[in-house]
Structure 1
Amino acid sequence: MEIAILILALILIVAIVSFSIRRKRKKEIERLEQKRKELENRPISEQLTRVKDLNMDGQAEELFDRWRAEWDEVVSIHMPAIKTLLYEADEAIDRLRFSKAQEIEKEIEEYIEQCHSDMDNILAELEHLIGSEAQSRVEVEQLKEHYRNARKTLLAHQYSFGPALYELERRLEIFAPSFEQYEELTEEGNYLHASELVKSLVGEAVALEAMIVEIPDILTELQTSIPATISDLRAGHREMEQQGYYLKHLEMISFLDELEAHLHELLQLVQQLELDKVKPSINVLIEELDFCYDQLEKEVISRVYVERNAFNLQDRLLNELLQAKELITEAIFVQQSYRLESEKADKPKRLAKELELLQRRYDVLLEQFTDGHSAFTSLEADLQDITASFEKIAEEQASFAEYLKTLRVEEMDIRVELDELRKELHEVDRKLHKANIPGIPDEMRSRVAEVEEQLFVVEKSLEEVPLNMVQIRTNVKVAKELLEGARTKVIEMVENVILFEHTIRYGNRYRATHPDVQKRFRAAERSFTALRYTKALEEAGVAVSQVDPKALEAIQRLAQDDLYKATKL
């Protein structure tokens, strides 16, 4: 019984699966049948009838015959074949040969896709033929209108086109026979050839129309504007030479001759309608002519500058040379009292030599200006360079003269500063001995002695002949640094002493009740007696801090007034 039930279950499962697959395959057959009907119903025949409205000769007839043959092949061969395959697939499904059915379905799908592709090609070529014919007809009418307008323009404005007129007319003449050729091609049904002809005519028409617009302006530039500019430049060049300008270095006349020869070459290119080569050259010509104007204008501007400033340096150079000689004498005199570095000592002579060289350059410039054989732009550049060099030398000379004057002033300032430093040292020493302390540490005495010794060095250096101000300044700087260091250490020591005394007074309250405080205070007092004030303050501070953590803050407040009075230097 169990085996029978199992067999029945298996049969039922197989039947259900077979039914499901069969149903799926049947749906696929229906889908393919629907695609076949859509393929069959595509309006190829209706579209082919549109071609019959054209002249059925030549190319049109050939295309029509090919399309109709391809469509007949689809209808009479491919469609029946697809039907047959659909029938075979359906029969295979009924026999439960699903693999075979799938293979046939795949073949049908490829068959239908191929037919679709063939039909799409037929429709695309058909639309191209009909569209080309319609578009070409419109374009031809437009071309005829452009052709008539172009002929009218050339006839009415022949002078405006100059040497290019013949070539323009020759190229325009190809349109009339081309129109006739177009009509012949359409009458013969060669619409695609006619369309290609129209495209080439459109390109030619666009190019000719652009030339008809551009050539009058180009010829105006080449025959009128640029020659007029060249003529103006020649006249200006001649007039400026008559006015005393030296212009040979510009070589402008030969350059203008080259430009005129180039103009003739450009006119020949215009005659040949090679405008793409002409237009960039015109721009270059205009830029070169503008450059010529700029060169002449620079000569005029330079002449104004040179005439206004050529003689301005004469008196100043002479005066500066006299000052240079005086400065050499003054430097020799100053060196008797002050030692100068070799570079500074030689500076007046060097500046004097530079002024003499500049004077010679200036004399040559004046001579060139007078004889009129130099370009004003060159004279201006030289004059500006000479002026800049002169200003620099004059500034250096004035600075050196001021330096010599300041040496005596600096010496007096240093002597005054030395007196001030001695007073400050005396005040530091007085504060040191006035302090209520058991004694002065050796280190402090050494610092004060070192400052005294350095001040003595400064004093001795001020007695030397000649004075070495560089060394004196260094000595003064060292003395000031040593004095500042001594002052800082004295103030620090006095502060430590005052804070120690206040710490002892503040901590006396704990001596009887805290033996450790008593012990540390005795050690601190021994350090104090031994002139070790910093260590004494540290030991006393640790002692009171162990009992009262805020003791040091309180001591600082209590000692504030005493610290201010004692350390005020």
Structure 2
Amino acid sequence: MGFVIFLLLIVVLGAAGYATAIFMTKKQTKVIEELSEKKDKLMAVQIADTFYTLKNLNLTGQTKRTYETWQATWQTITRFRFPEIEAALVSAEQYIQKLNFIKGNQVTQQAENLIEETKAEVDKIYSALQKLLDSEKQNRAQLDLLQERYASMRKDLLAHSFSFGEALETLEKRLAYLELDFAKFNTLTNEGDHLEAKEVLGRIENEMKEFESIVEQVPQFLKEIETEYNEQVEDLKQGYARMVEEHYQFSKISIPEEIEKIEKTIEVARGHIAATELEEARQQLDKVAREIDQLYDVMEAEIEAREFVYRNKAQVEKRLNQV
């Protein structure tokens, strides 16, 4: 009776083991099949065709160097990575057939990791190639927008040329430099270097932003000089002349010399504005503002001093008479 139970136990365990082996075999085989499908999808990505299309575009310069870099990466994947994945999947399948599920699972995991890494690289390559293909179209669209802005900028400059003073010549030169950049873009595009051409467009856009900012600020700077600083300088001159007539004395400072210095600083600021060097112009005008305020303070202090003397003159004379 015990022997029969023992035989039944062996049969049951054998059946359970066989069922487990069948289950594990099917499970891991399914995993391998899914990974194999992923690998096939990667190999089916239309990258080779894209490389062929780009090759026929006669690329040059930076665009060609970028193309060659991605081509080398793709060749590495096709020559080494795909065979490595295939070998891992075959090895995993062999281990499973030998019922070595632990080793089979390890190799399957390695194959899955390789596929995920390869997919990331393939996606990156495909995206980069599509950008190369779309670069000319995108550049042309951006060029149209920039040329519209350029035409508007030139029109506004001519329409309000009187408000830019001596800066008009410098602004016209800046527009001429923009025209040279547009010409360079066309040359690079015709040569097939679309990435370099895109960088030129980026430079044009930055130069336009700077130009538009300058065009907005120059009239404000000139108006500030005419309606604020020149008027204050004239006021200082007239105020000093009246004070001299009234016998004010400035023993520690020469008001005319200081006014002359301020006028020279204003001319320096005008020179910076004419050259569209607005940061430097602002520094000079801030200096003018400080120096004008200092002269006003000196003259006001002298006026206050005279008033103090007049208020206390009688009392001082009385004291002197008493003495």
Considering the TM-score relative to the shorter chain, is it more than 0.5?
Answer: yes
- 1:248 counterpart = 2:251: yes
1:133–1:309 distance in 2 versus 1, CA, 3 Å: farther
Unaligned runs of 5+ in 1: 316-358, 365-569
TM-score, with normalisation over the residues of structure 1?
A: 0.48
Q: How does 1:128-167 map to 2 (within 5 A)?
A: 128-167=131-170
**TM-score, with structure 2 as normaliser:** 0.78
> Given that residues 268 and 284 in structure 2 are in contact (C-alpha distance below 8 angstroms), is that contact kept between their aligned partners in structure 1?
no
Q: Counterpart in 2 of 1:36? A: 39
Bigger shift: residues 200-209 or 144-153: 144-153
Partner SS for 2:185? helix
Superposed CA deviations along residues 482-522 of structure 1, whole A, max 9, x for unmatched, are xxxxxxxxxxxxxxxxxxxxxxxxxxxxxxxxxxxxxxxxx
Q: Match of 1:201? A: 204
Q: Which SS does the other structure have where 1:173 is aligned?
A: helix
* Partner SS for 2:166: helix
Partner Cα distance (2:52, 2:79) in 1: 19
Letter in 2 for 1:203: N
Amino acid in structure 1 at the alignment position of 2:200: L
What does residue 58 of structure 1 align with?
60
1:278 to 274, 278, 281: 281
Partner Cα distance (1:177, 1:298) in 2:
58
Q: Which stretches of structure 1, 4 residues or more, deviate above 6 A after TM superposition? A: 45-50
For residue 96 of structure 1, give the secondary structure of its aligned residue in structure 2.
Answer: coil
Inter-partner Cα distance in structure 1 for 2:141 and 2:292: 48
Which of 221, 224, 242 matches 1:218? 221
**Partner Cα distance (1:265, 1:292) in 2:** 20
Contact 1:55 1:186 in 2 (8 A): no
Q: Cα 1:101–1:14, aligned 2, differ >3 Å: closer, same or farther? A: same
- Structure 2 CA distance for partners of 1:131 and 1:229, relative to 1, 3 Å: farther
**Against the structure 1 CA distance between its residues 47 and 310, is the aligned structure 2 distance closer, same or farther, given a 3 Å change threshold?**
farther
Alpha-carbon contact 1:55-1:188 (below 8 Å) kept = no
Larger Rg over CA atoms: 1
Query: Could you tell me how far 1:192 is from its partner in structure 2?
Result: 0.4
For 1:190, the equivalent position in structure 2 comes to 193
TM-superposed deviation, 1:193: 0.7
- SS across alignment from 1:249: coil
Question: SS of the residue aligned with 2:249?
Answer: coil
Please give the residue correspondences for 1:107-506 in structure 2 after superposition, counting only pairs within 5 Å.
107-222=110-225, 225-304=228-307, 306-308=309-311, 310-311=313-314
Deviation sequence 1:138-194 (CA, Å, 0-9, x none): 332233233333333444444433333333222221222322221222222211010
Amino acid at match of 1:22: T
Q: Distance in 1 between matches of 2:230 and 2:160?
A: 22
* Identity within the alignment, %: 27
Q: Which amino acid aligns with 1:108?
A: A
Whether the aligned pair in 2 keeps the contact of 1:270 and 1:278 (CA below 8 Å) is yes
Separation (CA, whole Å) in 2 of partners of 1:184 and 1:108: 48
Q: Name the SS of the counterpart of 2:252 in structure 1.
A: helix
| Distance verdict in 2 for CA 1:141–1:85, change over 3 Å | same
Q: Which amino acid aligns with 1:171?
A: R
Distance 1:291 1:61, change over 3 A: closer
Indicate the SS of the match to 1:311.
helix
Structure 1 residues 330-379: Cα deviation after superposition (integer angstroms, max 9, x where no partner): xxxxxxxxxxxxxxxxxxxxxxxxxxxxx68x999xxxxxxxxxxxxxxx
1:363 and 1:277 map into 2 onto residues whose CA distance is 62
**Residue-by-residue CA offset, 1:70-94 (whole Å, 9 max, x unaligned):** 6677568755664454343223212
Task: Return 153-162 or 281-290, whichever deviates more.
Answer: 153-162
Deviation at 1:69, TM superposition (A): 7.5
State the number of aligned residues.
319
Give how far 1:9 is off. 6.1
Letter in 2 for 1:89: A
Report the RMSD for the aligned CA atoms in angstroms: 3.8
